[in-house]
């Protein structure tokens, strides 16, 4: 995976945009359209896209049958990635989601574990929440991946039918109860016999991905893989 991120990065080396680095906001450094070289070198990439039994997979072991899963970054509190995620979710920076999707897509492009994916499905937000934010951050991540891998996105088929309370301070059990029956698949035929890549912004306890994954797997002969921009350090 390291190799492909590097190749992707190298392909941009000739483009020195005068843009600010999205992490340090410095304009006196060489920056491509997202990060300066100093920040890029410090980003906590998981480099686990190609690892079979990686941290991400271990997170779901015994809970659900997923083909493969990986996260682009580790999420470290107060760290660079937290800043990116907060900008994406709360500071109206949908373009960061797209960019992270492009980087992730490029990093798994040659990865056999992610081959044969038929469609990307973002974890849905409750409608009023999406209207309030103006976009769904997971959809933006999906857009970036879709662009690089030329895989279609299926939106509005996995939907959130119930508003759920914020889960930040809940235990894993409380989250499971909170999310029960929060999601549904509108037209199961759209997911039948398909390998779906389910994407979200951050993997923390994994309960949301788990609930959504189960709903998709109820569709005949479907398979799922998962990807997130960042994952917590629970299993490190
Ligand atoms: Zn920087």
Q: Binning pLDDT at 50, 70 and 90, where does residue 28 land? A: low
CA of 90 to the centre of ligand 1 (A): 20
Q: Is the pLDDT of residue 214 over 50?
A: yes
Q: Which residue has the tokens 């109206």?
A: 92
Which residues have CB less than 5 Å away from ligand 1 (the ion)? 21, 23-24, 36, 39
User: What's the CA gap between 120 and 168, in Å, rounded?
Assistant: 26
pLDDT digits over 85-112, tens only? 999 999 999 999 999 999 999 988 887 7
CA of 1 to the centre of ligand 1 (A): 22
Query: Domains along the chain?
Result: 1-42 (no CATH), 51-231 (3.40.50.2020)
Q: 186 and 194 in contact (C-beta within 8 Å)?
A: no
Best CA proximity match to 60, nearest among 219, 217, 220, 222: 217
This prediction has a pTM of 0.86
pLDDT digits over 175-208, tens only? 777 777 889 999 999 999 999 999 999 998 899 9
Best CA proximity match to 234, nearest among 4, 77, 78, 97: 77
């Amino acid at each position: 995976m390291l190799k492909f991120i590097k190749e992707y990065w190298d392909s941009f080396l000739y483009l020195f945009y005068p843009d600010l680095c999205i992490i340090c906001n410095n304009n006196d450094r060489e920056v491509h359209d997202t990060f300066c070289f100093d920040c890029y070198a410090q980003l906590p990439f998981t480099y686990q896209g190609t690892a079979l039994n990686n941290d991400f997979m271990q997170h779901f072991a015994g809970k659900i049958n997923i083909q493969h899963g990986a996260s682009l970054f580790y999420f470290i509190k107060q760290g660079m990635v937290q800043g990116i995620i907060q900008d994406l979710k709360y500071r109206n920076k949908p373009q960061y989601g797209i960019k992270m999707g492009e980087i992730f897509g490029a990093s798994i492009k040659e990865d056999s574990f992610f081959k044969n994916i038929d469609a990307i499905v973002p974890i849905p937000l409750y409608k009023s929440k999406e209207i309030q934010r103006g976009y769904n951050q997971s959809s933006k991540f999906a857009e970036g991946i879709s662009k690089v891998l030329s895989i279609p996105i299926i939106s509005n088929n996995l939907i959130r039918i119930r508003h759920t309370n914020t889960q930040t301070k809940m235990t894993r059990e409380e989250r499971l109860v909170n999310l029960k029956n929060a999601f549904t698949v509108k037209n199961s035929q759209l997911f039948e016999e398909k390998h779906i890549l389910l994407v979200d912004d951050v993997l923390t306890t994994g309960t949301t991905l788990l609930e959504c994954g189960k709903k998709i797997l109820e569709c005949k002969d479907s398979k799922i893989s998962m990807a997130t921009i960042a994952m917590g350090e629970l299993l490190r």
